[in-house]
Every structure is written in structure tokens, then in C-alpha cells.
Amino acid sequence: MIIIDLEEKYKRPYFMCLEEWSDEMKEAGDHKENWYNKMKDKGLGVKIAVTEDDKVVGMIQYVPIEHSTAEGKNLYIIKCIWVHGYDEGVGNFQKKGIGKRLIKAAEEDVRSKGAKGLVAWGLSIPVFMKASWFKKQGYVKVDKLNVSVLLWKPFSDDAIAPKWIKQRKKPEKIPGKVSVTSFINGWCPAQNIVFERAKRASSEFGDKVVFIEINTFSRETFLEWGICDALFIDGKNVRTGPPPSYEKIKKKIAQKVKKLK
Ligand SMILES: CC(C)(COP(=O)(O)OP(=O)(O)OC[C@H]1O[C@@H](n2cnc3c(N)ncnc32)[C@H](O)[C@@H]1OP(=O)(O)O)[C@@H](O)C(=O)NCCC(=O)NCCS
């Protein structure tokens, strides 16, 4: 097992969260690849874990904090870390020390770039990317927004703790129509799936439904809303982690369409 920087030949599994076996992933479009192509010149770091028989079984991606949903200075933030945990595809590689090696490699990299610390985020509930795992790796909680915990590992005494950027406004209803507003940044294939499903479902209702795409890759747009990836139907937030099915999104829109006069 080696931990290396992302190379050309491993880009496809990286763009698909190492889940090339998944039909759901095929719904994610090319947003991640487009995001990568823009971010690779803005300080994005990607480390991957590759087995001796050339399988990509883990990844970590991190960016300067200015390109994230938190505010801070001279810090990098881990967008996500993922050690493949399903039986399908390359199989389950969790709990073999790979996550630990990936985060160490990221720490060394950002230290060498002169960062004053590495920031991570995780959930306070025991699902998905857990805050508890980062605590175990020496990260300390500095902020919390609902179940999203922000943690960090400062490298120097003069490092300043980061904070979450909070939501600043929400989409409005459109009189006489159902509005479906989808915020997309591109970095997360799961969220890109939600965007694609919402767009497709909206198109099934003709002019009764207005689909609004808000691309938050632009920093200005993100800061205007304080929202990175999200789905709103008639101004109401729909939970998107894990991605709701196409049918579920369509049903939610249909319920609103039914109520139109
Ligand atoms: C979190 C994750 C990266 C950890 O990687 P891993 O390779 O399974 O973990 P490791 O084997 O390196 O574990 C290192 C240590 O953390 C411990 N640990 C594992 N899971 C833990 C948890 N949920 N809480 C606390 N400690 C945990 C291990 O016991 C091990 O302890 P040790 O150092 O005393 O031996 C991995 O489990 C994962 O990908 N989980 C899903 C995260 C996810 O959904 N990512 C996508 C987000 S976009």
C-alpha cells in the first residue's frame, strides 16, 4: 500500500469517489471533474492510497480554507477523506490504518506549504464522516453548525482558529410557480447527484416548475448565500445527505405542483 499524489491514471476513480461500481455515481455528471480542473491551480491537494495490485482504496482532498465553507487564514481544510468501505468494487479497506496514513500525508504536505494548521469537519452523529475520528487523530473542536463540527490541528502558536460561515439568505417562493433551487459547487459527487436529479425531476412538470441553478464555485456567489450545496423546493430546505432518490425529489415537487391554483 502506498500513499501518493493523484496521478492521471487514477483520476477516474477519484472523480467517482472510488465507486466506479455504483450506478448512482453515474448520475453525478462531470461536475467533479470540472471542479478538479479549476481547483488544481488553486491549491487543491489530493492524496490517494493505492494497493500493490494498483487499486485505489482511499483518498483525501484538501484546499486552502479560502475555497471552503469555513473562514480562516493560512489554513487548509479537508473537504473529505474516504477509505472505501463497501464490499462492492475494490472491497472494504476501512480500519486497516489507511485513513490515518492519508491524514498524516495531508498534514505533512500542508505544513511544507507553510500552512499554520489543518482543519477538518465531521458530523457529531455516528454516520458518514465522523467528528470523533478526527478527534482521535488529534483534532480539536472549534465550531459547530447543527451536526457539522469544525475541528483543527494548529501547527503554530499564532494560528487563528477557523469558524463556519453561516447561511445568509434563503431562496424565495415564486408566485404561481413551484421553485426548485439547487446550489451546486461541484466538489462532492453525492451532492452533484442531487443537483442532476432535481434538474431532471423539475423538467417533468413543464412551466409549472422553475428550476434555478446557483453555482457556488464563485466565492462571491457562495458568500452572498452562505450556502454551498443544497436543495430548496419552494424555499424549503430538502435534506440531501445521503442523496434523496429521484422518485422522492419528484414526489416532493409534485406535492407542491398539486397545490398550485
Ligand atoms: C473515517 C475513515 C477515513 C477512517 O479511515 P480508516 O482507514 O477506516 O481508519 P484507520 O484504520 O486509519 O483508523 C485509525 C484509528 O481511528 C480509529 N477509528 C476508526 N473509526 C473511528 C471512529 N468512528 N471514531 C473514533 N475512532 C475511530 C481506529 O480504531 C484507529 O485507532 P488506533 O489508531 O488506535 O488504531 C474511514 O473509516 C471512512 O472513510 N469513513 C467514512 C467517511 C466518509 O463517509 N467519507 C466521505 C465523506 S465525503
Cα dihedral across residues 229, 234, 239, 242: positive or negative: negative
86 CA distance to ligand 1 middle (Å): 14
Question: How far is CA 37 from its chain centroid?
Answer: 16
59 lines ligand 1 (CB under 6 A): no
For 18-48, b/e burial (b = at least 16 CB within 10 A) is bbeebebbebbbebbbebbeebeeebbbbbb
Pocket test for ligand 1, best of 51, 57, 80, 83 (most atoms within 8 A of CB): 83
> How far is Cα 187 from Cα 135, in angstroms, rounded to an integer?
24
Q: Which domains does the chain carry?
A: 2-164 (3.40.630.30), 178-258 (3.40.30.10)
pLDDT digits (tens, 9 = 90+) for 2-61: 999 999 999 999 999 999 999 999 999 999 999 999 999 999 999 999 999 999 999 999
Q: Is the distance from CB of 198 to CB of 180 less than 8 angstroms?
A: yes
pLDDT digits (tens, 9 = 90+) for 64-122: 999 999 999 999 999 999 999 999 999 999 999 999 999 999 999 999 999 999 999 99
Q: Is the distance from CB of 183 to CB of 229 less than 8 angstroms?
A: yes
242 lines ligand 1 (CB under 6 A): no
- Confidence band, pLDDT 50/70/90 cuts, at residue 261: confident
Nearest to 149 by CA among 178, 168, 115, 125: 125
Pocket test for ligand 1, best of 94, 98, 127, 192 (most atoms within 8 A of CB): 94
258 CA distance to ligand 1 middle (Å): 45
> How far is Cα 112 from Cα 110, in angstroms, rounded to an integer?
5
Q: Is the distance from CB of 57 to CB of 18 less than 8 angstroms?
A: yes
Q: Is residue 215 pLDDT above 90, yes or no?
A: yes
94 CA distance to ligand 1 middle (Å): 7
130 lines ligand 1 (CB under 6 A): yes
What is this structure's pTM?
0.95
Q: Is residue 127 pLDDT above 90, yes or no?
A: no
98 lines ligand 1 (CB under 6 A): yes
What is the mean pLDDT of the segment spanning 175-180? Answer: 97
Which residue has a Cα nearest atom 21 of ligand 1? 133
Nearest to 44 by CA among 73, 80, 71, 12: 80
Q: What are phi and psi of 206, to 5 degrees?
A: 60, -140
Q: Is the distance from CB of 186 to CB of 196 less than 8 angstroms?
A: no
> How far is Cα 31 from Cα 79, in angstroms, rounded to an integer?
16
Q: Which residues contact 250 (CB under 8 A, 6 or more apart)?
A: 201, 204
75 CA distance to ligand 1 middle (Å): 23
Which residue has a Cα nearest atom 44 of ligand 1? 128
pLDDT digits (tens, 9 = 90+) for 135-172: 999 999 999 999 999 999 999 999 999 999 999 999 99
86 lines ligand 1 (CB under 6 A): no
